[in-house]
Amino acid sequence: MSASKSYLERSKLHSNPTAKAFLELMERKKSNLSVAADLTSKHALIELADKVGPYICLLKTHIDVVDDFDQDLVDQLTALAKKHDFMIFEDRKFADIGNTVKLQYSSGVYKIASWSDITNAHTVPGEGIIQGLREVGLPLNRCLLLLAEMSSAGTLAKGDYTTTTVELARKYKDFVVGFIAMQRYEDRDGDDFIYMTPGVGLDQTSDGLGQQWKHPREVIYDRGCDVIIVGRGIYGNGRDAAKEAKRYQEAGWNAYLERIK
């Protein structure tokens, strides 16, 4: 089972160069923490990225909520990624037909494929969405996560939807490297997908708006996932973002070390 192996061991089995580099980064930095930077101003996003950068393996953005987005924001974020040794994940959740997502990924205001190492997609439209994103991303050494499950109450991403999503990932392993999921699925035929789990918290279990939080140890050790995604638990309500990021980094990493013993 791949969950019992170290990130470094697993990196040697990946054909996608970004997935390989990401697993190596996690081991090198001793971090499986991704911060969900859902902020609406350029200044706040850059400031947060700089504060949490030393502790994270991945910065997750929703770039279309930034009111004053410009190319300078992209330039600064990519510079911070290099400075602090983390990757960038634009949480775009593509959900349209293949030709449309090609344009959304490569063009428009955001030109996501030009700067985001990782992005993600729903599989509701069928495999054409993967094919479209793959045509743009694969030549740029980008990679894709599929939304197999979500952390919100009442989600429809479950059951047959999840099963079909996993099958599609297996078909396009050169580009699809993992899932947004609440648990690790059974490995088959040399599978080694990267599992990223949102809705992680050390101090709360719910926000009253449908989000349900799980403890880092439950996600990494009990459920066998690889990356904890944390947002408001790190920077919400006036928290010291750097201090909280370090706390979550340690919790996630300790759970990982316990898992691979």
pLDDT at position 2 = 82
Q: What is the pLDDT of residues 69-90, one digit of tens each?
A: 999 999 999 999 999 999 999 9
Task: Report the catalytic residues.
Answer: 91, 93, 96
Is 232 annotated in a binding site? The answer is: yes
| 46/252 Cα distance (integer angstroms) | 24
| 229/162 Cα distance (integer angstroms) | 20
60: helix, strand or coil: strand
Is 211 annotated in a binding site? The answer is: yes
141 sits in the region (left: phi over 0; alpha: psi -120 to 50; else beta) called left
Is 85 annotated in a binding site? The answer is: no
Which one-letter amino acid corresponds to residue 185?
A: Y
pLDDT at position 207 = 57
pLDDT at position 150 = 77
Is 104 annotated in a binding site? The answer is: no
pLDDT at position 99 = 97
pLDDT at position 213 = 81
Is 60 annotated in a binding site? The answer is: yes
